[in-house]
Amino acid sequence: MLICLTASHKNAGFDVLERLSSTAGGAGPRLLAGHDAVRGAVVVSTCNRFEAYLDLGTPDGESPVDAVHGAIRAVGEVAAVEADELRSTFDFSHGNDVAAHLFAVASGLESVVVGEGEIAGQVRRSLERARHEGTTTPELERLFQRASQTSRSVKNRTGLGSEGRSLVRLALDLAESRITDWAGTRVLLVGTGRYAGASLAALRDRGATDISVYSPSGRGSKFAASHDLPSIDRRDYARAAAEADVLVTCTLAEHFVVDRAVLAEGRERLAADTAPVRALDGAIVPEPAAERRQLVIDLGLPRNVDPDVTEITGVELLDLETIKIHAPLEEFAATDAARDLVRRAARDFGEAGEELDLAPTVVALRSHVFDVLDAEIERARRRGDDGTTEAALRHMAGVLLHTPMVRSREAARAGEQRAFIDAVAMLFGVTADAGSSADATRETDAKDASGRRAG
């Protein structure tokens, strides 16, 4: 059984999302340890959502509630958030609703900026991290791979994935009212994290050319070289931060990389380094660096910027909480078309999964028929059959199996798997062990292949 626990900008406070996001890297293995029924986990964490996709080994008809509570406790332990708070925050999806939700998320339909492009890559990287941590399962692999296919389909077949839809671009749109000329604006990009490349591209699209980069983790030089930018040394960071007209932060650091102290120190150094100017009365005074206007755009989660920067005269902070308030309304035509594609993809995913659920019974029936077939062929051989009877029996077995195979697919699509399973058990006395279905499949396929070679 697939389930999903979701905390997002729609149902969770920024502080909770921040704590969940900062610990997402270790959540997957902890979720597996949270309850015996949890067979696999993939965690999707972005600046506006934390989601845990779980594959539960819960038998049909058995409640998943205990496993869900165990998963919530595990997340709470990792993020240092009370389980009761998470229970009142998380939205819960199960069954085919999980596919519908993930496909919508991967397609940008659940983002702050509907249709934003970064989320598809974040979903894909979540699966890659789960593979690295050893927490994925075949069913989760199928779910996430289909999500990536659906997001590409939405992008290619609707206008929703058009150029320019992103949180970064929305932030810069909001900054337009403070910037008169991007070409004359000095920009410092702090960080080389998830939004650094997108931020740089969006800045250049607006005409910004005076852009430099600083990385608290020391990766600034490599990023600067690959993007043709000057890199700021750690010793010069405070001064460069104070000198910039716009700071854009996008690091994965779990501490503030810009705060009041950094800007204050930088302004003092800038004032000391600035050539003095002569006032009208002839007095020599320094240029008033402390009064200059600065815009700080914080795209980090956890927060990259301490809110105390606004205590400095002339500094304005634009953070994710502010940005999401100004998210544009959906473009209804494109959104409706995208949601229709998502619904159909989720339905197809569910139908394929339901057919897979019948696989153990189908395999058991085929194995039963081939066992009977092999016994009859052996008796015919003992009677001296020249192969004619064997060929006829194999042909008859194939004809007899054709109709049950067709009916199994029809039952799966109609949601009548239980009726098919009960019918096979009543007519043939055959029941399936789902845990041994893979071995049974290989055994039956081998018999089938042998029969085709012999026939």
DSSP bridge partners of 7: 50
Give the residue numbers annotated as catalytic, written as ranges: 47
Torsion of CA 283, 287, 291, 296, to 10 degrees: 180
Whole-angstrom Cα distance, residue 393 to residue 80?
Answer: 66
Q: Amino acid letter at 371?
A: D
Paired sense of beta strands 315-318 and 294-298, if any = parallel
> How large is the angle between the packed helices 332-382 and 437-454, nearest 10 degrees?
60
SS3 content of the chain, % helix, strand, coil (to 5): 60, 15, 30
Question: In which order are the strands placed within the sheet that holds 315-318?
Answer: 210-214, 186-190, 246-249, 294-298, 315-318
Is residue 81 within 8 Å of 72, Cβ to Cβ? no
In 10 A of CB 179, how many CB atoms? 17
Q: What are phi and psi of 315, to 5 degrees?
A: -95, 130
Q: Where would I find the beta strands (DSSP E) of 306-404?
A: 315-318
Q: Are 90 and 72 in contact (CB under 8 A)?
A: yes
Q: Exposed (0-12), middle (13-18) or buried (19+): which is 220, by Cβ within 10 Å?
A: buried
The span from the CA of 224 to the CA of 219, in Å, is: 9
